[in-house]
């Protein structure tokens, strides 16, 4: 079970953040970036590299923090931010809700630091043992998809478990007090929780299904300020290359920028793939398979075509 110190760290990490309240209406010359307490965007924020790339284009950057993907994409839909990075499921739910978003870039396997946690003393030994159990995860998040994929891998149906849909802070508390039997979650929450006494990882995402992350943008922003979006993506590519070569420094930067203890941050960094690239046909197909899975389970109200939301960058000058 999570000890008191680890629970406090997890709760503070997952606590509600300003999100929509911190977002502002669009302004000329400002790129508003939604980010979470982990990964490449936090490193970029700490280094100021996007700011430097956008300065010649007459743009500054405003950072808006979110606790997880669905609220971030709600802000994107309501014109509270221009771009943001999430896992695989939030854009699917957003597209099904008619959000005007585009996939601007992909972080292939960027969500590999996710898994299913078990509390101390749990009798669960395999994915099949989740049958009849209360499994916590954030609705419409990458953990939602990971839970469904884990059940499929074990030959179980979604109806075979009791889904307990909770935001990360509430899930951490429920897991700590034994109100749920398992918790599907991503880094750094996963890494923080692993510090708890007796907590076990039932399975990591790498053993279940590919977990990609995506840089999403509002369609209006991508269509009207394409060069700014390209410059931001190029900056993230530079950050990713640096991260791959300097993992120790990455852990220090992330810990400093998020307040997550350094040992947990190191654990998360060690299993993160730092890469930013275009949406390939294969990645689009993987995302479409997730969308089809959610529609088959009636978790989204209509089928969607992921390729309709893939952004084609304008040709570069020269």
Task: Work out the percent of the chain whose per-residue pLDDT is above 70.
Answer: 91
Q: Read off the pLDDT of residues 267-312 as tens digits, 9 standing for 90 and up.
A: 999 999 999 999 999 999 999 999 999 999 999 999 999 999 999 9
Lowest mean pLDDT among 15-29, 57-71, 113-127, 221-235: 15-29
What pLDDT was estimated at residue 3?
A: 54
pLDDT at 316 over 80: no
8 Å CB contact between 101 and 311 = no
Within 10 angstroms of residue 74's Cβ, the number of other Cβ atoms is 22
Q: How would residue 118 be classed by pLDDT, with cut points 50, 70 and 90?
A: very high
Average pLDDT, integer, range 47-51: 97
Cis peptide before 173 (omega within 30 of 0): no
H or E element, residue 134: strand 134-137
pLDDT bin (cut points 50, 70, 90) of residue 23 is low
Give the chain's mean pLDDT.
Answer: 92
Taking residues 85-103, report their average pLDDT: 97
Evaluate if residue 16 carries a pLDDT over 80: no
Does the pLDDT value for residue 15 go beyond 60?
A: no
- Are residues 212 and 220 in contact, defined by beta-carbon separation less than 8 angstroms? no
- What is the pLDDT at residue 9? 46
Contacts 24+ apart (CB under 8 A), 251-254: 253/42, 253/43, 253/46, 253/47, 254/38, 254/39, 254/42, 254/43, 254/46, 254/188
Confidence of residue 37 (pLDDT cuts 50, 70, 90): confident
Tell me: pLDDT of 147 over 50. yes
pLDDT confidence of residue 314:
84
The answer to whether 121 and 127 have CB atoms below 8 angstroms apart is: no
243 pLDDT more than 60: yes
The yes-or-no verdict on residue 18 having pLDDT over 90 is no
| CA pair distance 237, 41, nearest whole angstrom | 11
Helices (H), 201-280: 219-224, 226-245, 247-258, 262-270
Average pLDDT over residues 104-132: 95
Alpha helices in 67-210 (DSSP H): 69-77, 89-96, 142-153, 168-176, 189-193
Residue 227 has pLDDT above 70, yes or no: yes
Q: d(Cα 42, Cα 138) in Å, to the nearest integer?
A: 21
Q: Is 308 exposed, middle or buried (0-12, 13-18, 19+ CB in 10 A)?
A: exposed
Confidence (pLDDT) at 28: 86
Residue 22 has pLDDT above 60, yes or no: no
Q: What angle do CA 73, 77, 83 make, to 5 degrees?
A: 60
């Amino acid at each position: 079970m999570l000890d008191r110190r680890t629970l406090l760290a997890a709760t503070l990490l997952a606590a509600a953040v300003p999100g929509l309240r911190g977002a502002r209406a669009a302004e000329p010359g400002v790129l508003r970036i939604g980010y979470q307490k982990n990964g490449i965007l936090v490193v970029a924020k700490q280094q100021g590299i996007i700011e430097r790339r956008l300065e010649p284009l007459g743009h500054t950057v405003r950072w808006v923090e979110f606790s997880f993907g669905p609220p971030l994409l709600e802000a994107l839909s309501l014109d509270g931010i221009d771009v943001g990075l999430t896992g695989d499921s939030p854009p699917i739910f957003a597209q099904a809700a008619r959000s005007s978003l585009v996939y601007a870039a992909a972080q292939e396997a960027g969500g590999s630091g996710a898994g299913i946690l078990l509390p101390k003393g749990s009798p669960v030994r395999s994915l099949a043992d989740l049958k009849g159990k209360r499994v916590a995860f954030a609705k419409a998040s990458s953990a939602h998809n990971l839970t469904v994929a884990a059940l499929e891998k074990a030959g179980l149906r979604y109806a075979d478990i009791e889904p307990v849909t909770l935001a990360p802070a509430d899930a951490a508390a429920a897991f700590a007090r034994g109100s749920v039997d398992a918790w599907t979650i991503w880094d750094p929450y996963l890494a923080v929780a692993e510090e708890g006494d007796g907590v076990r990882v039932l399975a990591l995402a790498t053993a279940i299904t590919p977990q990609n992350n995506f840089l999403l943008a509002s369609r209006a922003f991508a269509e009207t300020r394409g060069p700014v979006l390209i410059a931001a993506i190029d900056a993230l590519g530079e950050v990713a290359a640096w991260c791959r070569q300097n993992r120790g420094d990455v852990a220090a930067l992330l810990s400093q920028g998020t307040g997550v203890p350094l040992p947990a941050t190191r654990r998360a960094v060690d299993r993160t793939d730092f890469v930013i690239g275009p949406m390939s046909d294969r990645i689009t197909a993987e995302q479409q398979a997730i969308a089809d899975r959610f529609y088959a389970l009636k978790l989204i109200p209509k089928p969607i075509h992921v390729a309709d939301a893939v952004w084609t960058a304008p040709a570069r000058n020269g």
